[in-house]
Amino acid sequence: MSEQYKFHDKDGLYFSTSTVVDWVDIFTRPEYKAVIIESLKYNQQEKGLIIHSWCLMTNHLHMIVSAKDGFNLSAIMRDFKKFTSKEIIKTINDIQESRKDWMLKRFEYAGKYSKRIKNYKFWQDGNHPIELNTNELIDQKLEYIHNNPVVAEIVEKPEEYLYSSARDYIGMKGLLDIELID
């Protein structure tokens, strides 16, 4: 994997994007969003993930993240994507999903030519991490993350979007525990 797609500094603060293959709009159903939220909570509690900002859109997840001392951010993100990939495929099969056949075929095809993939590939490769080493870059990415649902015309104000940390930054409680960036 290219060096530009790796988390280099174990103590660093990173902007990260995880994208569903073929930009499939899967996170339109609460069941799939719940898989992501529960997995992020688990990674916070058990694997040392620190979430500073996040936004789950219909087909991708933006975050500003770091790791607690003694934990490896690359390993956390790898395990998160591996687990959520399997859980979402399982959920597709378990619920009433009108797009089931179409989505499973897309994910199967995406993994067809990869030696690492057994059945389905859900996430695109990489997290496209950008180390946030200046206040200007931090502010830019924080604003970008929180304005994503506004730009997509899902909500009028960032804090109205439930699947984001924007509400945490105005003093409300969001779905995840957030370590605010000062």
pLDDT in tens, 63-109: 999 999 999 999 999 999 999 999 999 999 999 999 999 999 999 99
Task: Give dist(CA 82, CA 140) in Å, integer.
Answer: 29
143-160: average pLDDT: 98
112-127: average pLDDT: 85
Task: Tokens 């996430």: give the residue.
Answer: 123
Contacts of 75 (CB under 8 A, 6+ apart): 47
Contacts of 45 (CB under 8 A, 6+ apart): none
Q: What ranges do the domains of the chain cover?
A: 3-96+123-170
Does this model's pTM top 0.95? Answer: no
Task: Give dist(CA 157, CA 169) in Å, integer.
Answer: 13
Residue 65, beta-bridge partner list: 14, 51
Token pair, residue 178, equals 């957030």
Contact assessment for residue 157 and residue 169, using Cβ atoms and an 8 Å cutoff:
no
Residue 9: is its pLDDT beyond 70?
no
Contact assessment for residue 141 and residue 15, using Cβ atoms and an 8 Å cutoff:
yes
Sign of CA dihedral 87, 88, 93, 97: positive
Contacts of 82 (CB under 8 A, 6+ apart): none
Whole-number pLDDT of residue 83: 97
CATH fold of 3-96+123-170 = Alpha-Beta Plaits (3.30.70)
Query: How many beta carbons lie within 10 A of that of residue 24, not counting itself?
Result: 18
Q: 12-66 pLDDT, tens per residue?
A: 899 999 999 999 999 999 999 999 999 999 999 999 999 999 999 999 999 999 9
